[in-house]
Amino acid sequence: MFLIAAITAVSSLSLLIVYRLHFHPLAKYPGPLVGRITDWYSVYHCFTGDRHLDFVHLHAKYGHVVRYGPNRLSFSTTEALQAIYGSRANTKKSFWYEAMLLFMKVPSTHATIDKSQHSRKRRILSRALSDRMMPVYESGFLQLLDEFLKRFEPSSTLNNPGLSPAFDISREFTLFNFDSMGQFCFGESFGSLQNPKNAMIVEKTHEGFRGLNAIGYMPGLSWLQLDALMYKTKRILAEYEAYAAALSRKCIQRSDQSTEKTGQSRCVFDILYSISNQPGADGFSLPELQSESSLLVTTGTDTTAGALSNLMFHLLNNPETMTRLTEEIRSSFSDISEIRMGATLNSCEYLAACIDESLRLSPVIGGCLMREILSGGMKIDGDQIPQGIDVGVPHHVIMRSPDYYDSPWEYWPQRWMSSETPEDRIQRARAAFCPFGIGTTGCVGRKWALIEMQLTIARLLFRFDINMIMPETGKGLSATERLRIREQKELDWFVVSTTGPMLKFQLAKTSKGS
């Protein structure tokens, strides 16, 4: 009996392998042998945390299109980027996003696959995240930012006057961004800079999210109870949900009272709550509102924190860039309190270029944002791809492609500036630039993320001269070689996590801020 079962299993498996390699509709596409046969290939790279680097390797080896899973294709051109994610693409978010529902009672906008439901939620959320609403969030953010900067003041070091102790800036930015997202979403900081235990939700969920990422590639894993791995995450998220629910109740109370008095909102929750209270408005239900606001915190924390620490890494490894940027900021403002949203900050052209260049060279979104092709199939890069196939363009591949960027591994902000680069080169680079995604599923928090980055870096460089502690492994190497070493960081699920650089701060001689 056992022998018959074993023979049947081996024969079925062999037939499946032969089918996937030779008769499957994607059989003609190149890719790693294991990947063409099974999604275990992706699961392995999710757990090793090098999914983003493996895509770079695969495209270097196989070219513009790679079959990395039995039903999955990865592309690397701007045409594919538009075809797959553009606003008229015949695609929807793939099953991968459903894995997030293991953690959520009510799916957030990000986890909603159904296109009409997604566009309804996104329309509502966009009202709180529109350009017009940005000033609502600014003063709360600046208050937190000033407290954050105080941590780096050197006065506390008796042995080394003038120089602060060393800080791991990735960790600092994570705590700060978590607190500032608390302020942004619920009008109240989470206080993790004072008590890092409060940031447990961000720090401890990474392990579970890795499991979640793998389940997204291979749903069968959840039947194997592999999600036991995620038990801790589920427990922590449940605690966080309860905490967020308490914050929501506070917001509702405050909103009901303040609406009567001043009608002023101060956070995303307030705005979305007031929309949902308007008669006849298609707003969020209360459970949707709670889910949306609390999940916005997790979506906006790691991403912005990673982007800021990558930017510091590039600035400190390229001293001429750091000098030019510092000069731009210190000559544009005469006091730190002047650094606010508005015309002067927007006129800091080099700051904007430094941010874009860092988002290009070190994207924080790892892997490939998968989209499933809908009924009727679609043409990508001239090939007709059938319905049901998962397709995507990995950020690490397209934004480092020599097809779109000269010296793609170099951190060179001038490539974005019309005063220093011909317009056609800038346009070619822009067409492949997608750190926030593109189209109707691109980042709805993009505007706020950029404001946070501009304000944080401008105030930091206005106030401090910054020194990097060079690790032994980096000594004597070029900036690009150091970047390659830093690249060995890990992909948690959606976001590539970072550590360091380790920094010491010195008050700038010109600093007039307090």
Contact footprint for ligand HEM (CB under 6 A): 109-110, 122, 296, 299-300, 303-304, 307, 364-365, 369, 435-437, 441-445, 448-449
Q: Quick one: 37 or 215, whose CB is closer to ligand HEM?
A: 215
- CA–CA separation, 289 vs 108, rounded Å? 9
| Closest to 251 measured CA to CA, from 188, 189, 296 | 188
Cα–Cα–Cα angle for 189, 194, 198, nearest 5°?
A: 65
Q: Contact at 8 Å (CB) between 277 and 283?
A: yes
Q: Quick one: 37 or 450, whose CB is closer to ligand HEM?
A: 450
Q: Quick one: 37 or 289, whose CB is closer to ligand HEM?
A: 289
How many C-beta atoms lie closer than 10 Å to residue 353's C-beta? 20
DSSP state letters, 367-416: S---EEE-TT-EEETTEEE-TT-EEE--HHHHTT-TTT-SSTTS--GGGG
- CA–CA separation, 458 vs 336, rounded Å? 9
Backbone angles phi, psi at 319, to 5 degrees: -55, -35
Nearest-CB residue to ligand HEM? 445
Burial of 6 (0-12, 13-18, 19+ CB in 10 A): exposed
* Cβ 164 to ligand HEM shortest distance, Å: 26
Q: List the structure tokens of 402.
A: 């020599």
How many C-beta atoms lie closer than 10 Å to residue 372's C-beta? 19
* Cβ 346 to ligand HEM shortest distance, Å: 18
Helices (H) and strands (E) in the chain, counts: 20, 10
Q: Contact at 8 Å (CB) between 118 and 110?
A: no
- CA–CA separation, 167 vs 456, rounded Å? 16
Q: Quick one: 54 or 356, whose CB is closer to ligand HEM?
A: 356
Burial of 229 (0-12, 13-18, 19+ CB in 10 A): middle
Q: Quick one: 271 or 369, whose CB is closer to ligand HEM?
A: 369
* Cβ 112 to ligand HEM shortest distance, Å: 7
Q: Quick one: 310 or 317, whose CB is closer to ligand HEM?
A: 310
* Cβ 22 to ligand HEM shortest distance, Å: 33
* Cβ 99 to ligand HEM shortest distance, Å: 12
Q: List the structure tokens of 275.
A: 């929309």
- CA–CA separation, 423 vs 410, rounded Å? 19
* Cβ 435 to ligand HEM shortest distance, Å: 5
- CA of 153: how far to CAs of 116, 176, 505, in Å? 50, 16, 7
* Cβ 251 to ligand HEM shortest distance, Å: 16
Cis peptide leading into residue 501 (ω within 30°): yes
Q: Quick one: 31 or 445, whose CB is closer to ligand HEM?
A: 445
* Cβ 433 to ligand HEM shortest distance, Å: 11
Q: Quick one: 38 or 94, whose CB is closer to ligand HEM?
A: 94
Beta strands at 72-75 and 65-69: parallel, antiparallel or unpaired: antiparallel
Residue 443 is assigned to a ligand binding site? yes
Q: Quick one: 89 or 444, whose CB is closer to ligand HEM?
A: 444
* Cβ 92 to ligand HEM shortest distance, Å: 11
Beta strands at 464-468 and 378-380: parallel, antiparallel or unpaired: unpaired
Q: At what angle do helices 286-317 and 169-186 cross, to 10 degrees?
A: 150
Q: Quick one: 449 or 457, whose CB is closer to ligand HEM?
A: 449
* Cβ 169 to ligand HEM shortest distance, Å: 15
- Known binding-site positions: 443
Q: Which amino acids are annotated as binding site for heme, given as ranges?
A: 443
